[in-house]
Amino acid sequence: MSQSEIISHQSKMHAPLFVLSGPSGVGKTTVVEEAIRAVRYPLRRAITATTRPPRPGEVDGRDYHFWSVERFEDALGRGEMLEHAVVFGRDYYGTPRAEVDPFRTAGVGVILVIDVQGAAQVRARYPDDHRSIFLLVPSLAELERRLRARGTEDEAKLARRLDTAGRELARAGEFADQVTNDTVPNAVRELTRIINDEFQARGYEPCSTS
Ligand code: 5GP
């Protein structure tokens, strides 16, 4: 088999894996959900697991798998997690393999919306088999404004999230692509373009639009 035949053969085995990181409050979920509707290929967001409590309105199995610490540690012990991290110094967050591998094998692309520590683990595990994107915020002042507007954190938690955000922004250069969420439509357009390009580069045919 020639090099290009091998690459083409391998790319047909797994639909693409995307990793999107960015500071808490930058709008990752909104941008990703809209991009999933806009892309011309089958794509889903992996529902990740966390030990933090649900926020009002969050639903188990839709927003996250809300697990106890015991359950999370059991899953880790059984090797069921693709990556995991302790985020904001207190809660476990991680991606169950079952949210990723079976879908990719079935031809459905998967996007992980995870923190920079998790993204680094995916990079180490799948160096040539994912596309990483960092969602930037126009400024830290704007991020603070968005986090306050969301109103889900008390002052101490807000301060911790802003502190983490500063350190995360410094690592944006580790990602293959950077997208600035200045406005949601702009960020969705750019993310959609990146995702469509990746599928196309792997030889996938776009879904027909009706
Ligand atoms: P939040 O508590 O605001 O829902 O999420 C906090 C941070 O954890 C966000 O940056 C989010 O992207 C990240 N996160 C969510 N799920 C995972 C995961 O499975 N693994 C890792 N490493 N980070 C995650």
Does 127 fall in a domain?
Answer: yes
Does 97 fall in a domain?
Answer: no
Q: Tens digits of per-residue pLDDT, 162-209?
A: 998 898 899 999 999 999 999 999 999 999 999 999 999 999 988 876
Which pTM value belongs to this model?
Answer: 0.89
End-to-end CA distance of the chain: 38
User: Residue 163 CB: number of other CB atoms within 10 A?
Assistant: 12
pLDDT confidence of residue 161: 87
Does 89 fall in a domain?
Answer: no
Q: Whole domain around residue 186: which residue ranges? A: 14-44+111-201
Does 29 fall in a domain?
Answer: yes
The answer to whether 136 and 21 are in contact (CB under 8 A) is no
Choosing from 87, 110, 113, 137 the residue with most ligand 1 atoms within 8 A of its CB, the one to mutate for a pocket test is 87
Atom of ligand 1 nearest to the CA of 29: 12
Atom of ligand 1 nearest to the CA of 23: 10
Side-chain half-sphere CA neighbours of 25 within 13 A: 29
Does 7 fall in a domain?
Answer: no
Atom 11 of ligand 1: nearest residue by CA position: 114
Per the structure, the count of domains in the chain is: 1
Does 49 fall in a domain?
Answer: no
Q: Tens digits of per-residue pLDDT, 50-81?
A: 999 999 999 999 999 999 999 999 999 999 99
The answer to whether 194 and 19 are in contact (CB under 8 A) is no
Q: Which long-range contacts (CB under 8 A, 24 or more apart) does 63-66 make?
A: 65/96
Does 137 fall in a domain?
Answer: yes
Does 167 fall in a domain?
Answer: yes
Which amino acid is residue 61, in one-letter code?
G
Tokens 């290009």 belong to which residue? 4
Beta-bridge partner residues of 81: 96
